[in-house]
Structure 1
Amino acid sequence: MLTDDELRAVLRAEAAAHQPDRAVILNRVTQTAMRNEAARRRAPRVRIAGAAAAVAAVIGGGGFAQWALAGGTGSSRPEPPPPPSTTTVTTPATPPVTTGASPKPSRTSPSQQPHRSPSAPPSSAPAATSPLWADGSVDVGGKTQASSVVTIRTSESLTALDVTIRLARTAELVSRGGSQQVPGASVNSSVAEEAGALVYHFTLSSGDTIAPGTYTFFARYTYAQGGRDAGADSYAATATSGSGAALKASGAFG
């Protein structure tokens, strides 16, 4: 049988080891109680209470063990400490920090694209000016005679030229021949009668060249008294420039 001092010494040793083994301690207490059953019956209740309190102190810890070892009794017994609580601390997640260039915006659809002003259409290129120009007029020489005049202007040398004046057949229309003013070049002229018209031809002689300038061609004729309507008359000119370009000009007599 252990005395109170021996029991307290055992309990102190167990408490100092900080590794209480509940099963071992209870087994020891049970074996001791069984070996000394008769003695415990005669022992004061305080001693039994002290042993039980000591066991509880080893299992439960601190202040209760100190009270049992001191032999405390009565209402001054401290309450066993509550079981240790476990507190879980949750650290709020920190949003990831994105470094580098910002992502490119998604491609939006065509209906969402920003409005763009339509580009101005390219201006039309000015038409190239032909180096050959022609004009027709009527030069009245009296009550029954006149001349239909074709004026030719060229900005390039001409190696070939053909001018045709067509006079619509009217009352008493008679040709008086044709003439021209083309200085420095030889020009052949002719008049032909066709169905419903008098046709005057002026042709540059082969091998001759017409320099840039203004030249005039005349179709002379007579007609019946009371005047003549030239609304159906016409002219046409074809030429070849010194660079080999084919040139044309035509019109009517206004």
Structure 2
Amino acid sequence: MLTDDELRAVLRAEAAAHRPDRAAILERATRTTMRNEAARRRGPRVRIAGAAAAVAAVIGGGGVAQWALAGGTGSDRPTPPPPPVTVSASPAVAPSASPSRSSPSRRPGKPTAPSVASAEPAADTTAMGPLRSGGSVEVGGKTRANSVVTIRTGEALTALEVTIRLAGTAGLVPRSGSQQVPGASVDSSVTEEAGALVYHFTLSSGDTLDPGTYTFYARYTYAPGGRDPGADRYAVTATSGSGAALTVGGGFG
């Protein structure tokens, strides 16, 4: 059994006699690396570890030998080299084509046919372009009256509609509607809508009103004691000979 001093002497002698060929070691490591690189190119996945392991073994072995020759103890023994790392080469993934971007679909709106009719004006508008209008009440007795709409146009009209709306009051009963429109045909009607009497006057299709003054009458009876026309309204829509849309309206002051 050799003593510690004799063992150290033997190791020193072996270390002095051993001279590693560093050039040969590097050459072997380079060849190993080149073989691994060629194998990686031939296959989709390779493991590159041989060269690193060989170099680590040589360097690690030399470190342990030097520690032993220097008389080291267990507390200062050099840390062994880490295990070789395996590197996996994955095949490249082709980028996916960008999804085509389509324009949002648009649903065409339903065309609206032009009409001379319109809603009741929100405020009194008694004049527009060549068209003027006015409303009044003619009392024909204790229980009879006419709500009258008069229009004056300085230009020929190819379309015309007059609407008179009488708010429902005590004893209100329609009689008829009439007009003074010489040289043209006008259709008239009376209906009851939402607690009101509504008189419609419409110029017949194909007729034209020449420039002038025209009058429309809504005839009715009411309960004795009088009737307040403050909530009554009228509206006039027309089309001029030049194609302009005209709208006027108001109350019966």
- Report the TM-score when normalising by structure 2: 0.50
Larger radius of gyration: 1
Q: Which structure would you say has the larger RCO, counting Cα contacts within 8 Å and 6 or more residues apart?
A: 2
- Report the TM-score when normalising by structure 1: 0.49
